[in-house]
A and B are shown apart, each in its own frame.
Chain A
Amino acid sequence: MQAGTRLVVNKQVFLDNLSLCMQKMTVIGPQKLRGGEVTFGPLRSLRRLTLDYVNDLDPLKRFFLPQREVLFAYDLSGKKPRLLQPEQEKPRLLFGIRSCDVQGLAHMDGFFQGACYDELYWARRRNTLIISMACNRPNESCFCICCNGGPWLESGFDLQLTDLGEEFLIDIGSRAGRVFLEERPMPAVTASRRHETRRRELMEACDAQMVPTAYLAKACIQITNNRVREELWEEMGSECFSCGGCTHVCPCCTCFDVVDCPEGAKSGTRVRCWDSCQYSGFTREASGHNPRARAKERVKRRFYHKLSYAYIQQDGHPGCVGCGRCITVCEAFGLLDISAVVKRLRRDGQ
């Protein structure tokens, strides 16, 4: 079995094997809450697992860059401060993550490596097997086809499953994915032309159901060349509630704050927690000076980071995977999510 090979495995057989994994590692997968909402979390059995879902509104980046994370603990009880590093977590398997979130991870991988290598992020990343699930059906807010974010991918996963009904078609994306299959005696056949055709039909049907559009190209040019009227930024700034929702749910947004959390006078932790460039305090200095005191400047900043050529060149892609979460959470309903902004920029066209 090579990376790139496609296999077909009976769905129940695959799920039974997944269930066996739950004893040895933390298996995270989609589960239905009482209200019918689907969220990803640790699974102890197959009972709560659901395959009837589109995606979790809470982005899956949280399993790698948690909303709140201890960087280290300090102990000041001795003569000299003692610093304690966080413990390594158990191996994990992330089952059912959607293509857009896998692309989000690829974005974060690029960001957290390099000269300032973020070991805390990478320890979780190395520790986690990614079994993604290609999308057969989008949400009304999905637009991954505009951002190379899905509905299915060529790489970025260890294994990628396509739900063919009775069977999973499996793409092997890495050595770890291949080893996972080899270590489990699952009767598998190489995907036939019939399977491939079925998958193509499913994917094409999914493509056709995408409603929102985000023609990023023109907005990229306008933002890169600073050819957006200041009045339009001004208008968008006046509509923004600066709630930070768009950045928190974005699989490509990585900004964080660092704060100390004392537990009494002698000990505590330093933690990082998600922050947002949309908050006015994000750039406020101790002197009171604030280069982005106004919502207009912050909205402009957000889209500069998402769509400017300078960032696209640095990251290799725009800062959007088309998951549509900002469409769902934006308080300025329908006005400031990326799809809406791209459309407004284009229509304003300069």
Chain B
Amino acid sequence: MENIYLPDLAVIDRIVDETHDIKTFTLRFASRELRKNFRFKSGQFVEASIFGAGEAPFGFASNPNHPEHFDITVRAAGVVTRAMHALKPGDYMGIRGPLGNHFPLEEVKGQDILIIAGGIGLPPLKSLIDPMLDCRGDFGQFIILYGARTPADRVYKPLLQEWSERGDITLLQTVDTPDAAWSGPVGVVTTLFEKIKLAVDRTVAFTCGPPVMIRFVIQELLAMGFAEERIISTLERYMKCGVGKCGHCAIGHKYICVDGPVFSWRQIKRLPER
């Protein structure tokens, strides 16, 4: 039996500065065997280690159709993430994963897709958007709404540009505080809802972002007439072990790390604390 707390070693191939405090790390496992056999699904996450600093959970931020490499996007917020930001390409991290459940990707084929992301909530949704766009024809209307504090706080700026130039998806962006160059909408992400047209009975909404954003997004979606099971969100809690043992991420009797992080509103509303 193996020690479920023992990470595998992964090498940093590339580091991209996304914002002043967010970086994206592209990783590959050191073991060839593992690199060959590793698979993950959209919405799953890893526990990433910096030995001496600790371990923290991050959602996959890249396309599961290309599992030989994977990305995590990290904001420097605590001890572990600040230590990560000091790393260089070629350095090692410890990785445990894939962990958790995943977004329903196959199940929503044929449906219209609405993605609502806030700030650093976009990375986990990118692991869903990427494979969806690989088979764009399998979905109907495809809308992405993205809100950030400022234009500079947006992650994946080149990719956002690419998406906005695509004719087959709609990307709307908004910021709380604009800068001189910003000509787009200003306001919280829910203000974008009035700019789009949806058929709620054939749309599935996916959302990820700060807890307060998620709360308002879900309220609006319900008001628009979305069925409870057509609202898919991620839940976030302080997490340690990632394997349902340490107890930190429990909400009611559900453990975000093994029963989540992906839940439908139907499931979330039954939890005793939200």
A201 contacts partner chain B, Cβ-Cβ < 8 Å? no
B255 to chain A, nearest CB (A): 10
Number of cross-chain contacts by CB at 8 Å: 122
A23 to chain B, nearest CB (A): 29
The answer to whether B250 and A282 touch across the interface, beta carbons within 8 angstroms, is no
Known contacts A115-B258, A285-B237, A310-B253; A72 and B247 CB within 8 A of each other = no
Residues of B within 8 A of A310 (CB): 252-253
Residues of A within 8 A of B15 (CB): none
The answer to whether A305 and B258 touch across the interface, beta carbons within 8 angstroms, is no
Complex CA–CA separation, A85 to B3 (angstroms): 8
Complex CA–CA separation, A63 to B5 (angstroms): 19
B87 contacts partner chain A, Cβ-Cβ < 8 Å? no
Complex CA–CA separation, A13 to B211 (angstroms): 65
A257-273 toward B: CB 8 Å interface, digit per residue (1/0)? 11110100100101010
The answer to whether A119 and B3 touch across the interface, beta carbons within 8 angstroms, is yes
B44-78 toward A: CB 8 Å interface, digit per residue (1/0)? 00000101111110000000000000000000011
Interface of B, secondary structure class, is loop
Among A112, A116, A277, contact of B247 (Cβ-Cβ < 8 Å): A277
Known contacts A283-B237, A291-B237, A310-B253; A256 and B247 CB within 8 A of each other = yes
Complex CA–CA separation, A72 to B52 (angstroms): 12
Residues of A within 8 A of B77 (CB): 286-287
B82-99 toward A: CB 8 Å interface, digit per residue (1/0)? 000000000010100000
A110-149 toward B: CB 8 Å interface, digit per residue (1/0)? 0110011111101000000000000000000000000000
B246 contacts partner chain A, Cβ-Cβ < 8 Å? yes
The answer to whether B272 and A304 touch across the interface, beta carbons within 8 angstroms, is yes
The answer to whether A255 and B237 touch across the interface, beta carbons within 8 angstroms, is no
The answer to whether A283 and B240 touch across the interface, beta carbons within 8 angstroms, is no
Nearest A residue to B52, CB-CB: A262
B182 contacts partner chain A, Cβ-Cβ < 8 Å? no
Interface of A, secondary structure class, is mixed
The answer to whether B243 and A120 touch across the interface, beta carbons within 8 angstroms, is no
A71 contacts partner chain B, Cβ-Cβ < 8 Å? yes
Complex CA–CA separation, A2 to B53 (angstroms): 52
B109 contacts partner chain A, Cβ-Cβ < 8 Å? no
The answer to whether B245 and A116 touch across the interface, beta carbons within 8 angstroms, is yes
Task: Spot the interface stretch: A74-82, A96-104, A155-163, A324-332.
Answer: A74-82
The answer to whether B94 and A81 touch across the interface, beta carbons within 8 angstroms, is yes
B273 contacts partner chain A, Cβ-Cβ < 8 Å? yes
A276-302 toward B: CB 8 Å interface, digit per residue (1/0)? 010000111111010110000100010
Complex CA–CA separation, A270 to B4 (angstroms): 13
Residues of A within 8 A of B7 (CB): 83
Which residues between 1 and 46 of chain B lie within 8 Å of chain A, taking CB atoms? 1-7, 9, 30
Most buried by B among A226, A265, A286, A301: A286
The answer to whether B55 and A270 touch across the interface, beta carbons within 8 angstroms, is yes
Complex CA–CA separation, A155 to B55 (angstroms): 39
The answer to whether B55 and A268 touch across the interface, beta carbons within 8 angstroms, is no
Which residues between 81 and 134 of chain B lie within 8 Å of chain A, taking CB atoms? 81, 92, 94
The answer to whether B240 and A256 touch across the interface, beta carbons within 8 angstroms, is yes
Complex CA–CA separation, A254 to B30 (angstroms): 33
The answer to whether B5 and A270 touch across the interface, beta carbons within 8 angstroms, is yes
Complex CA–CA separation, A76 to B91 (angstroms): 11
A233 to chain B, nearest CB (A): 12
B149 contacts partner chain A, Cβ-Cβ < 8 Å? no
The answer to whether B55 and A258 touch across the interface, beta carbons within 8 angstroms, is yes
Complex CA–CA separation, A256 to B246 (angstroms): 5
Complex CA–CA separation, A255 to B253 (angstroms): 14
The answer to whether B52 and A260 touch across the interface, beta carbons within 8 angstroms, is yes
Residues of B within 8 A of A197 (CB): none
Complex CA–CA separation, A118 to B246 (angstroms): 11
Among A122, A270, A283, A292, contact of B1 (Cβ-Cβ < 8 Å): A122
A31 contacts partner chain B, Cβ-Cβ < 8 Å? no
Nearest B residue to A301, CB-CB: B273
Most buried by B among A118, A265, A277: A118
The answer to whether B246 and A255 touch across the interface, beta carbons within 8 angstroms, is yes
Residues of A within 8 A of B56 (CB): 286
A311 contacts partner chain B, Cβ-Cβ < 8 Å? yes
A308 contacts partner chain B, Cβ-Cβ < 8 Å? yes
A350 contacts partner chain B, Cβ-Cβ < 8 Å? no
Nearest A residue to B211, CB-CB: A289
Residues of B within 8 A of A311 (CB): 253
B202 contacts partner chain A, Cβ-Cβ < 8 Å? no
B136 contacts partner chain A, Cβ-Cβ < 8 Å? no
The answer to whether B246 and A291 touch across the interface, beta carbons within 8 angstroms, is no
Nearest B residue to A257, CB-CB: B240
Known contacts A80-B30, A119-B1, A258-B55; A72 and B244 CB within 8 A of each other = no
A291 to chain B, nearest CB (A): 7
The answer to whether A116 and B4 touch across the interface, beta carbons within 8 angstroms, is yes
Residues of A within 8 A of B5 (CB): 71-72, 120, 258, 270, 272
B140 to chain A, nearest CB (A): 35
Residues of A within 8 A of B216 (CB): none
Complex CA–CA separation, A255 to B248 (angstroms): 7
| 21 A–B pairs (Cβ distance < 8 Å), ordered by A | A71-B5, A76-B52, A81-B51, A112-B245, A117-B1, A119-B3, A122-B1, A256-B240, A258-B240, A259-B54, A265-B52, A268-B52, A272-B241, A275-B247, A286-B56, A286-B77, A291-B237, A301-B273, A304-B252, A310-B252, A310-B253
Given contacts A254-B247, A260-B54, 7 further A-B contacts (CB under 8 A): A83-B94, A226-B272, A256-B245, A256-B246, A258-B5, A258-B54, A260-B55
Taking beta carbons and an 8 Å cutoff, which residues of A are in contact with B?
71-72, 74, 76, 80-81, 83, 85, 111-112, 115-120, 122, 226, 254-260, 262, 265, 268, 270, 272, 275, 277, 282-287, 289, 291-292, 297, 301, 304-305, 308, 310-311, 314
